[in-house]
Amino acid sequence: MSISAIPANSILHGAVAMQSRILINDLLDFFFYPECICCGQRLKRGYDYYCENCLDLASQVEEVLCPECRLEIVSLRTGCKSCEKKSPISALFACGTFDDFFRSVVHGLKYDSLLPLANKLSCMLASRLMNADAVRLIDLIIPIPLHWTRQRQRGFNQSFVFAQSLSDKTSLPVTDDLLKRVKRTKDQTGLNASQRVNNMKGAFSVTKHDAVAGKRILLIDDVTTTGATLNEAALELRKSGCRNVFAAVIAVAATSIE
């Protein structure tokens, strides 16, 4: 059929339908696809919370890290030969470094209650664990607990939300009742390395020693800088007889704090 044979009202109807679809799509984009939490650009359909460009620019960490020197660990079984006596944690896993991207997503999860971000971030971390064949070396996931007063203020523990999502991806059990925060510590921001260690001393207590004895545990936190928080929690777990402690975070911050 030639174009001239198509009724004019059909052509008009088709044009109106196309314009309507464009308008509907624009409205959907406006209401349901907001700005990237990192760069502020409006997100394309199919993306949520952050854009493809910001993710591409993010400093992701694919390697398994030594929790002390932050260099790559080649084997989980042997660990870092030069640092193995210095840390109660055998290895550190991370989604990335604390750059603009990961700072934005951690802030979104922690302070803006964008809890679905935990699902996206746990996918990254699950791939790190699987690539290192680490899942079979872990018995239990334990998130770093908040003091009850801080959790009441925030309404949730972001590390537990992240740990639950990671549990879904790896089928590893997770619990938040074996490690308790018994001391309300100061905010670590602005403290030097030694002050951070002193600030965290006595912050945690194991509630059920038999439940962690002999277990290989993965500790979860949102960000680590000097490692003071993770190390203090790991020390308490070691005192209760756990077999091994690994740690995993969303982001590893700079360790230039003296």
| Residue 205, CA distances (Å) to 180, 196, 202, 233, 239 in order | 5, 18, 8, 8, 10
Q: Does 163 reside within a domain?
A: yes
Give yes or no for residue 4 having a pLDDT over 50. Answer: no
How far is the C-alpha of 114 from the C-alpha of 167, rounded, in Å?
19
73 and 147, same structural domain? Answer: yes
Cα distance from N-terminal residue to C-terminal residue, the chain: 79
**pLDDT, tens only, 153-199:** 888 899 999 999 999 999 999 999 999 999 888 888 888 888 998 88
Give yes or no for residue 204 having a pLDDT over 60. Answer: yes
How far is the C-alpha of 84 from the C-alpha of 92, rounded, in Å?
12
Domain boundary among 57, 73, 88: 57
Q: Which residue has the tokens 């409006």?
A: 42
pLDDT at 141: 98
How far is the C-alpha of 139 from the C-alpha of 125, rounded, in Å?
17
- Could you tell me the pLDDT band of residue 2, with boundaries at 50, 70 and 90? very low
206 and 146, same structural domain? Answer: yes
Parent domain of 145 = 60-252
69 and 50, same structural domain? Answer: no
pLDDT (mean) for 227-249:
96
136 and 22, same structural domain? Answer: no
pLDDT at 256: 46
Q: Which residue has the tokens 């990254």?
A: 124
Helix (H) or strand (E) holding 181: strand 179-181
Reduced DSSP (H G I as helix, E B as strand, rest coil) percent helix, strand, coil of the chain, to 5: 40, 15, 45
pLDDT (mean) for 238-257:
88
Give yes or no for residue 258 having a pLDDT over 70. Answer: no
Which pairing describes strands 244-252 and 140-143: parallel, antiparallel, or unpaired? unpaired
* CATH number reported for the structural domain that contains residue 196 in this entry: 3.40.50.2020
Token output for 45: 């359909």
Which has the closest alpha carbon to 93: 225, 248, 250? Answer: 248
Report the number of distinct structural domains present in the chain: 2
The per-residue pLDDT of the chain, averaged, comes to: 87
How far is the C-alpha of 255 from the C-alpha of 258, rounded, in Å?
8
Which has the closest alpha carbon to 22: 73, 30, 187, 88? Answer: 30
17 and 97, same structural domain? Answer: no
